[in-house]
Structure 1
């Protein structure tokens, strides 16, 4: 497992536990008792460490390479998943995955940013940074869901839209704007979960939903801390200061009314217990969909639009 800087004291204790588990009882030391004592110490240190994470440390957890990504959640939460590809205009973009499936027996259209877990898959999925064809594919699938009256679930985890020259040449800004427009236009229940990093317009293009959920250690911001630091301080070394100023944590955004609910993560982050975070997110998604059950499509659309207009007017708590 990849160890973050602030996790090193925890990792040292866990290393000692692993060493002890490979020993046999002997002498004056009871191995089982010592392991139990150290495990209690690890749990206490995890709890105290993760209870007071700074925004920059939260950013590191949100980007943790072992953290579950969109395809992991799709495999864990969606049955009978059928991937759908292409924007019917230019081509396929693997940075955004999507398709039809069943969530707790209900048909859904699910979309998500996929970052990949190793060098091969990260390159394949372009580190979760979509090009215009990715957002046009998202728009196509959301319109399909609207046509067949199927709820939309999106799993957001991206540093932002791909900033390359080829993406700009194919209309990146227009594609993002059209995707946001479609988010605000569909007449079906729409739930978003920020599962890791929600960066800039690349995230908003999939996250303009009726209900926006955030995992406990996820982040969501108009720009990355590094990007903000390079603009304001002309140096990426001030990323920690930028993270503080951006108020990008789930806790800050819940207070501001940008996200509607925070989904608890396992002690130490989602990467430490995937089954537990799957169960927590499943319950949160199910609750959000149940809250919208039976509401007429026009009302859903009007409420969604009003939600985001209120943010612009400063009408949130």
Structure 2
């Protein structure tokens, strides 16, 4: 059953009418093809109109859609011979961060990503995509491994942020995130990061300080969630729509601010309506971004990447 967001209610009503008419046809042999076609055309036009003028808060809702393709969807659709690698070799394995070796369009790659899960059981297993320190230390280990064997890194970011629990803080959450960012910046190999849903706070940038940063059209990337920002600024989480507007968290805003490099267009109605098509479009965008990087040596890649992020601070983007 398709999940509809609040602003999609008129679309849901039309699609409900279409489904009811189809059931009528199946049950009684009545030909309602003309009416179904008319309603489908109306629904598509309404869908296009709705998604052409999404507010930042509505984009945040789309970025969190439960049916949106997750990290493992991209791994399954784009990475051949994927071999998961687990553990930080110090404390434990963190299922919120996926990592492993595979092949992308003929090239060996190291894959990293935050996985939210697709149902209750998998969401609990992956801690809703909120990594603990051992997750970021696993990412550091795998980035070091990629650097040692000269393997490009691909990351897929989809997290509300790092896990904020007391036990995570006790095990050095802030230090683990900082070291992961340092590992991103130091890696002497091509690195392409893609924000596929939510890019929340340091928990996202820990896997996204890359040579090229891509964002799906309806994904978001911000220093804090709209609800968290509203709770701090206005002492009221209900002000989240206003916070989303102020944070400039949409892909279009971030490209304009030179904080990300390019936007990957989503199918009409969002990635959740055509997951397989979205995965392939992201694969094409990653390949386009990765190819020029493969010709550069490690010292050049590292110097350019570090300069890229220093320039953000000089220009006032950060």
Fold in common (TM above 0.5): yes
* Offset at residue 278 of structure 1 (A): 1.1
Q: Does 1:142 align with 2:143?
A: yes
Number of residues of Structure 1 aligned to a counterpart in Structure 2:
316
Structure 1: which 4+ aligned runs deviate by more than 4 Å? none
Equivalent-residue separation in structure 2 for 1:24 and 1:206 (angstroms): 51
Q: 1:315 to 1:290 in 2, by over 3 A?
A: farther
Equivalent-residue separation in structure 1 for 2:295 and 2:4 (angstroms): 46
Counterpart in the other structure of 2:315 = 314
Counterpart in the other structure of 1:245 = 246
Q: Report if the CA contact (8 A) 1:59-1:218 is conserved.
A: yes
Counterpart in the other structure of 1:118 = 119
Equivalent-residue separation in structure 1 for 2:35 and 2:300 (angstroms): 59
After TM superposition, list the pairs within 5 Å mapping 1:99-248 onto structure 2. Answer: 99-248=100-249
* Offset at residue 293 of structure 1 (A): 2.0
* Offset at residue 314 of structure 1 (A): 1.0
Instruction: Identify which range, 293-302 or 125-134, moves more after superposition.
Output: 293-302
Instruction: Identify which range, 34-43 or 232-241, moves more after superposition.
Output: 34-43
Q: Report if the CA contact (8 A) 2:96-2:129 is conserved.
A: yes
Q: Report if the CA contact (8 A) 2:140-2:180 is conserved.
A: yes
SS in 2 for 1:139: helix
* Offset at residue 23 of structure 1 (A): 2.3
Equivalent-residue separation in structure 2 for 1:106 and 1:128 (angstroms): 27
How large is the RMSD of aligned CA atoms in angstroms? 1.5
Q: Report if the CA contact (8 A) 2:190-2:301 is conserved.
A: yes
Counterpart in the other structure of 2:90 = 89
Q: Does 1:283 align with 2:293?
A: no
SS in 2 for 1:206: coil
Q: Gapped runs of 5+ residues in structure 1?
A: none
* Offset at residue 36 of structure 1 (A): 1.3
* Offset at residue 24 of structure 1 (A): 2.7
Equivalent-residue separation in structure 2 for 1:43 and 1:102 (angstroms): 37
Q: Report if the CA contact (8 A) 1:25-1:31 is conserved.
A: no
Q: 1:26 to 1:18 in 2, by over 3 A?
A: closer
Q: Does 1:61 align with 2:62?
A: yes
Q: Report if the CA contact (8 A) 1:146-1:188 is conserved.
A: yes
Q: 1:30 to 1:304 in 2, by over 3 A?
A: same
Counterpart in the other structure of 1:18 = 19
SS in 2 for 1:23: helix
* Offset at residue 196 of structure 1 (A): 0.1
Equivalent-residue separation in structure 2 for 1:168 and 1:25 (angstroms): 58
Q: Gapped runs of 5+ residues in structure 2?
A: none
Scaled by the length of structure 2, the TM-score of the pair is 0.97
SS in 2 for 1:214: strand
Equivalent-residue separation in structure 1 for 2:253 and 2:20 (angstroms): 40
